[in-house]
Structure 1
Amino acid sequence: MNNEILYLITFITAFFTALILTPFFRHIARMFNIYDRPLTAVKTHKVSTPYLGGLAIWSGWVISLLLIRLITNFPTGTLNNLRSVIIGSSMLLLLGLCDDIKKGGLGFKFKFLVQIIACLIVVYFFDIRINFIENKTLSVIISIFWIIGLSNAFNLIDIMDGLSCGTAAIASFFFFIIALPSEMIYVNFCAVALLAACLGFLPFNLSKSKKIFMGDTGSLSIGFILATVAMGTSYTKINPIGIFAPLIILAVPIYETIFVSIMRILKGKNPFLGSKDHFPLRLEKMGYSRKQILLFVYILSFIFGIFSYTIVKIDDNISYLIFSFIILLLVVFSVRLSKVKVD
């Protein structure tokens, strides 16, 4: 069976599994009273909403991968990579689930500890890490920071319906098409499965009558999967600046993390504590509706994805121009947003 058919089977399985399991987990959340209640000032929704959507996304992702494993023979290296991502993401899934269920959530120190352990399993024991850094110790350390940072970045932008999940779907699509010729086919299968699972969940996240949040259960595990997928393929076969392709694909969550952290530090606030200073909320303060903001972020993410694909495939000079344009765009955008008064 050729890979194209296997990718299609993976997509269909992940999509329909998430589509079917999302209302099931919504029912479970309502049965056991697992809600995200707007009891604090940093909450951006007004009505208590069921959690556990992240379980549907992750289940769609992992079930599709297990099915593909049953009907095809992967090389040993691919199997090890898949095992590592499944093990690590399941740890982040359980961490997020405990955080969603526990009243008041878990402390950030404990959450970071669990994330470090999950990262060590993937980076040190299974050797999925940033390969262009020759010193292994340095490579392991930076890879751990990368995974933890991105996992929390997707958690950070999960402050508006469809924002984190939709951004993850777009990023998955571009990781898939960039990695498609790669021999590291675990990247291809992980990316296409996550794309489909996110799309299966998204209609319920955007629904008014059947709304469900993915919670930390979803955002942490999704960020973890994408961080490991990003390290699994080469971007510099044509030009060295292609090394920045993963940063551009994931520019929205990375930008949000850096922007919010800087703004909070400048105001003397703890960057780990929540507040209504996220860039989508600043856009809302400027008068844009949530639908407009969501469409803007989706279009921006897609444009960044096209830029990343372009710099991987073309020569140095145009790549440098594209990269410089992106930096200039984000700087101008940041200056404008920083002038918006927020709570």
Structure 2
Amino acid sequence: MEKYIMAPVLAMVLGYAITPWVRVLAFKVGALDKPDPRKVHNGVMPRMGGLAVYLAFIVAVLLFRDLTPQVWGLLTGATVILLVGALDDIRGLSPRVKLAGQVIAALATIIPFDVQIYYITNPLTGDMLFLGAFSIPLTVFWIVAVTNAVNLIDGLDGLAGGVSSIAALTMAAVAWTQWHLYGIPGMLETIMLALTLVAAVAGFLKHNFHPAKIFLGDTGSLFLGFTLSVMAIMSLTKSATAVSVIIPLVILGVPLLDTFFAVIRRYHKHRPIFKPDREHLHHQLMAMGLSHRQTVLAIYALSGFLGLNAVVLNLISNDQALVLLVVLAVVVIYLADRVGVLGRTRKAGYSITDDYQQR
């Protein structure tokens, strides 16, 4: 039991203790976030806080976890993506260079350590569809998509860290049910990795929740997205249940849907797909009058709701799961349209709050 407890405990202590040192380092190396019209803060803030989360997670895993080839693959790719994020925080990288770095990090995990999606399960029939030559391209696409999705939601104090923690907790819960009910091997490894990541983020969030003393930066948001995507491959895609391919999408629903709606919105408005805007979910909630803290807590609640549904999907029959997925899809699309993330013209009377302007 001590073996299972020590990794999360150490990760939380280190995440809390290392962050002030990283904050000092960020000022020294120029990893600073300056305000601009798209952002919701008006003062210079240190970023690169994700370095503290990374160090807390890595040290705890190296000391207290079984270092299987897949775990080494996760740590190797996470180190590469951390370097990409740190360079972007310090010097700024072009979107193409960042994307190339993400692909390299994914391949550093996939090829040497055999962390791949070899098959997916057809949710309609339950048949296993082996990917063959498409395995590596699909795995790279998944890792890059989730990594960028978490990066894009990092717009408010504590938002990306909290949402990532809820996703990791949900992964641990789903992995536990698959291990306990179905005897699927390898799930205990994912449970402990997920809980260690949650603990590392929890220690950091003490310094990052509103009003933040330091931001995650791309160092942190890229690391969190990458780690979540690889942990999903290591565990949730191994299940042969019909909805196994859907469960990771539901767990990571908030960042993935926000990114998906951003692409739809920009395409519909004839804007460049990769050009940032102020119409993400957190922007729209604050424009509706929610305070900074209320917005973050509301998105936490949404993440928790999707996480709960992901656990339920793992426990009910295939037919019931498909019905639940249809209901979820309808509700999500309706709420997205009402909030405005699809780009619908907002009614008169909404305004940006002072809290929104002052972050």
Q: TM-score, normalised by structure 2?
A: 0.87
Q: Which residue of 2 aligns with 1:259?
A: 261
For 1:166 and 1:195, locate their aligned partners in 2 and report how far apart those are by CA, in whole Å. Answer: 9
1:256 partner amino acid = D
CA contact (8 A) 1:25 1:55 kept: yes
Q: Which residue, 32, 48, 53 being the options, matches 1:52? A: 48
Deviation, 1:340, is: 4.6
Deviation, 1:321, is: 2.1
Q: Which residue of 2 aligns with 1:196?
A: 199
For 2:189 and 2:275, locate their aligned partners in 1 and report how far apart those are by CA, in whole Å. Answer: 35
Q: Which residue of 2 aligns with 1:81?
A: 70
For 1:6 and 1:81, locate their aligned partners in 2 and report how far apart those are by CA, in whole Å. Answer: 19
Give deviations 1:277-299, integer Å, cap 9, x for gaps. 21110111111222221111111
Deviation, 1:5, is: 3.1
Deviation, 1:83, is: 0.8
CA contact (8 A) 2:32 2:47 kept: yes
Deviation, 1:207, is: 4.7
Q: SS of the counterpart of 2:68?
A: helix
Number of corresponding residues: 329
Q: Indicate yes or no: 2:84 matched with 1:95.
A: yes
Deviation, 1:26, is: 0.9
Using a 3 Å threshold, how does the CA distance of structure 1 residues 30 and 188 change in structure 2: closer, same or farther?
Answer: same
For 1:225 and 1:113, locate their aligned partners in 2 and report how far apart those are by CA, in whole Å. Answer: 17
Stretch of structure 1 that moved more, 300-309 or 178-187 = 178-187
CA contact (8 A) 1:285 1:340 kept: no
Q: Which residue, 328, 339, 344 being the options, matches 1:339? A: 344
CA contact (8 A) 1:260 1:279 kept: no
1:118 partner amino acid = A
Q: Which residue of 1 aligns with 2:286?
A: 284
2:163 partner amino acid = T
> What stretches of structure 1 of length at least 5 have no aligned partner?
none
2:171 partner amino acid = F
For 1:17 and 1:330, locate their aligned partners in 2 and report how far apart those are by CA, in whole Å. Answer: 37
Stretch of structure 1 that moved more, 331-340 or 245-254 = 331-340
Q: Which residue, 10, 14, 39 being the options, matches 1:13? A: 10
Using a 3 Å threshold, how does the CA distance of structure 1 residues 32 and 139 change in structure 2: closer, same or farther?
Answer: closer
CA contact (8 A) 1:238 1:313 kept: no
For 1:151 and 1:235, locate their aligned partners in 2 and report how far apart those are by CA, in whole Å. Answer: 17
For 2:37 and 2:217, locate their aligned partners in 1 and report how far apart those are by CA, in whole Å. Answer: 17
Deviation, 1:236, is: 7.7
Q: Which residue of 2 aligns with 1:66?
A: 62
Using a 3 Å threshold, how does the CA distance of structure 1 residues 223 and 306 change in structure 2: closer, same or farther?
Answer: same
Q: Which residue, 259, 270, 281 being the options, matches 1:268? A: 270
Q: Indicate yes or no: 2:152 matched with 1:165.
A: no
Using a 3 Å threshold, how does the CA distance of structure 1 residues 340 and 53 change in structure 2: closer, same or farther?
Answer: farther
Deviation, 1:127, is: 1.7
Q: Which residue of 1 aligns with 2:318?
A: 316
